[in-house]
Structure 1
Amino acid sequence: MKKLVFFTLFLISLGLFAQNKTDLQGAYLLEKEGVKKLWLFVDGYSSLTEYTESEYIQSKGGPFIITGNSLTITLEFNDKNPETVGDYISYPIQWHENYFMDELGNKWIKQTPISQELDGAWKITARKQNGEMHEIHQTGERKTIKLLVDGYFQWFAIDPSQKSFSGTGGGLYFFKKDVYTEKIHFFSRDNARVGTSLEFEGEIQNGKWHHSGLSSKGELIYEIWTKIN
């Protein structure tokens, strides 16, 4: 009987997760005293970043689940407090149609949904070097992930096993007619990049995202990204 009760509760929790995960998917923004806090949720992965109009502050994130009115994140990166990587952080949340309230009474506004073909959580899996394509990040926990949802993007290079963080950048993105454009709102490695736009060629081939053009350093790149879920 106890096993049946436990299994029933487990199924209910899965139902709550599936329902709220869909509702939560998107970009949420909180602005307070000149600081912007951008919280992205897509394909079961999240990132929370703080920045101003001209300066990057901090970022953290990882996989998330929803159970009732509780949001739980398994931290895979936290550049200001790397010792917390691997910890679970739970946030009491009050859900509403176009926003949610946290335990401090802050109102996180859902940004206007802009659905695009590239929306999702992606991991870089191959890169062209010396004219040849090479697979990367196939073993271990080192990885570069890019979240794309509702017109916002963020990439971050991390290694949860080492609790290391190599950098992040994000802002707005647009994808139309195989042209992928980023407008940078924050960049941990160089605040001077804020406000600039980068344009690339982009194409989905067999479920993988082929991404090519010039990097922020002006270097020619060709990358292949694969969805993490």
Structure 2
Amino acid sequence: MKNLLFLPFMMIVFGVFAQDLEGAWKLTHLNGEPVKDRECVKIYQDGYFAFGIKTSDNNHFLNAGGGLYSIEGEEYKETFDFYTENPELVGSTQDYTMDFVDEKLVLSSRRMGKNYIEIWEKISEREDPLDGTWVITGRKRDGEIQTMTPGDRRTIKILGGGRFQWIAFNSATGEFSGTGGGNYTAQNGKYTEYIEFFSKDDSRVGASLGFNYEIKNGDWHHMGLSSKGDPIYEIWSDYRKTYLEKQK
């Protein structure tokens, strides 16, 4: 009987922690020292996480990582789909001890023989109609929609807490093709990205891109002009339904 009572309790705890995590967080302290020379923002949404790191003084891109996360009590795990600083860790799982102190997220871990204590402060838990983790499944070329099936090589976009990040990578080889992110707004069919980091071109930081969008049968249809001024029409689908559930 005790075990039967314990299971729903654990489900409640997982739900509370997962809900608390969703949104955007900023790394404020590492091993007791304030993080000043760089900015690291991590987005949690729908069981997925992604972070991007840039220098504070000139917005130079440093690195990025992300993948699936899970929570069991105070144990928190991250499994990397991509990690630009250490691509050899793609596919591996990092264990953490997780706690919340004064509404701050504290993650403790041991990596490569060293102890790490990270303190994260939530930037925002704003909710928008496009919040989620998405994977690109279609593009319009020459007036026709060309569909694609996500595989080892895929492009995803995670949105939560008013922040976005897209990443193109190959989880089988560890190859990383690019990433970018920043703030966004999504209202009345208008979606605007405000770029705060871009791995391929630091000069794009500060630019904004506006698009029209529509949700059709659960897919996000995204129309406008690319950063180079080329017309784009993209279709993004729910990452979990389109990719993750098909890998089981």
TM-score scaled by structure 2?
0.84
Aligned residues: 225
SS at match of 2:41: strand
Aligned to 2:198: 187
| Cα gap change, 1:179 to 1:161, in 2 (>3 Å) | same
Amino acid at match of 1:38: V
* 2:129 equivalent to 1:117: yes
Give the corresponding residue for 1:86.
Answer: 91
Equivalent residues in 2 for 1:62-81 (5 A)?
62-81=67-86
Question: How many Å separate the matches in 2 of 1:139 and 1:23?
Answer: 29
User: Which blocks of at least 5 consecutive residues in structure 1 are unaligned?
Assistant: none
Q: Which residue of 1 aligns with 2:213?
A: 202
Deviates more, 1:185-194 or 1:16-25: 16-25
Matched, 1:25 2:28: no
Please give the root-mean-square deviation of Cα atoms over the aligned residues, in Å: 2.0
Q: Is this contact kept in 1: 2:23–2:126, CA < 8 A?
A: no
Q: 1:217, 1:8 → 2: CA distance? A: 57
Structure 2 counterpart of 1:91, one-letter code: Y
User: 2 CA distance for matches of 1:70 and 1:130?
Assistant: 50
SS for the counterpart of 1:116 is: coil
- Deviations along 1:173-196, one digit per CA (max 9) or x if unpaired, are 001111100000100010111111
Paired AA for residue 155 in structure 1: W
Taking only the aligned residue pairs, the percentage that are identical comes to 38
Which ranges in structure 2 are unaligned for 5 or more consecutive residues? 29-34, 109-115, 241-248
2:167 is aligned to 156
Partner Cα distance (2:79, 2:51) in 1: 13
Q: 1:76 to 1:7 in 2, by over 3 A?
A: farther
Q: Which amino acid aligns with 2:195?
A: I
Q: Is the 8 A contact 1:69 1:95 kept in 2?
A: no
The list of structure 1 runs, each at least 4 consecutive aligned residues, that deviate by more than 3 angstroms after superposition, is 4-16
TM-score of the superposition, structure 1-length normalised?
0.91
Distance 1:81 1:6, change over 3 A: farther
Residues 139, 119 of structure 1: CA spacing in aligned structure 2 closer, same or farther, 3 A cutoff?
closer
SS at match of 2:124: coil
